[in-house]
Chains A and B, each alone.
Chain A
Amino acid sequence: SQQGEEDPQALSIQEGENATMNCSYKTSINNLQWYRQNSGRGLVHLILIRSNEREKHSGRLRVTLDTSKKSSSLLITASRAADTASYFCATNRNSGNTPLVFGKGTRLSVIA
C-alpha cells in the first residue's frame, strides 16, 4: 500500500509561475525524497530532505518538511514547459537499504 498522498492530483500553470505540490505521509521517517517522472520514462531523483531538516533548496526547487504534521511541500519557482511531468514524494523509514514508499503523485502541466 502507498504511504501517503500528494495534492493536488493535477496542477496546470502558466510558464513563469510557481508550482507548489504537497505530500502527506503516515509513519515516522528517516528521510523524504522527491522524484520527477516524465511520460514513459523512469524516475529522476530531485532532492532529499532528512527528518531533522526543515527546509532545503536546490536550484529552482525548495522543499519543506514538517514532521509534526507528517507533511512536505515541493515548490518549483519560475516554472518552464520542460517541468511538465509527474512528481512523487517518497519516504524512507530507515537510512539506506529499505524500500522507498511512494505517494500517488501530482501531474504538473506547464503551459508555454
Chain B
Amino acid sequence: GAGVSQSPRYKVAKRGQDVALRCDPISGHVSLFWYQQALGQGPEFLTYFQNEAQLDKSGLPSDRFFAERPEGSVSTLKIQRTQQEDSAVYLCASSLRPRTDTQYFGPGTRLTVL
C-alpha cells in the first residue's frame, strides 16, 4: 500500500474487555513503532520492532499491554482488561531501515474505554 494503515480506526470497549489493534506498515519497512497519544498531548512511545524482534518495550505502561510482529510485517498491539485510562489514540509508525530517521505514521486507532 501507499502508506501505513491501521485498523480499526475507532474502537469502543467496555472496561475489562480485551482489544487488539492492527498495524500494516509500508511494505519493506524494517522498523515499526507504536505510540500512544492522549487527548491534547503529543504521542508517547510504547514499543519498537526491528523486523520481528521487539527491541524496546520500555514505554508499555503495564503488563496488560502486549505487542507482536511475528513475521516482521504486520504488527498487533493487544491491551488486556482495558481500563478507562487506556482511552487514547494509538499510532503506528514505520521507517525503512534502522538508521533511517523519518518515521511514517498511520492514521491511528482511537480507543474509547467506557
Q: Which residues of A contact B (CB under 8 A)?
A: 1-2, 30-31, 33, 35, 40-45, 48, 88, 90, 92, 95-105
Contacts and interface: CB of A to CB of B under 8 A. Distances in A.
Q: Which of B99, B105, B106, B107 has the most CB of A within 10 A?
A: B105
B91 A43 contact: yes
B105 A43 contact: yes
Nearest to A3: B42
5 contacts: A31-B101, A33-B102, A43-B93, A43-B105, A96-B98
B48 A97 contact: yes
Q: Which of A42, A90, A92, A96 has the most CB of B within 10 A?
A: A42
Contacts of A96: 31, 95, 97-101
Interface of B: 4, 31, 33, 35, 40-45, 48, 50, 55-56, 59, 91, 93, 95, 97-108, 110
A11 to B, nearest CB: 15
Given A42-B106, A90-B42, 7 more contacts: A2-B44, A95-B99, A99-B35, A99-B48, A100-B45, A103-B42, A104-B42
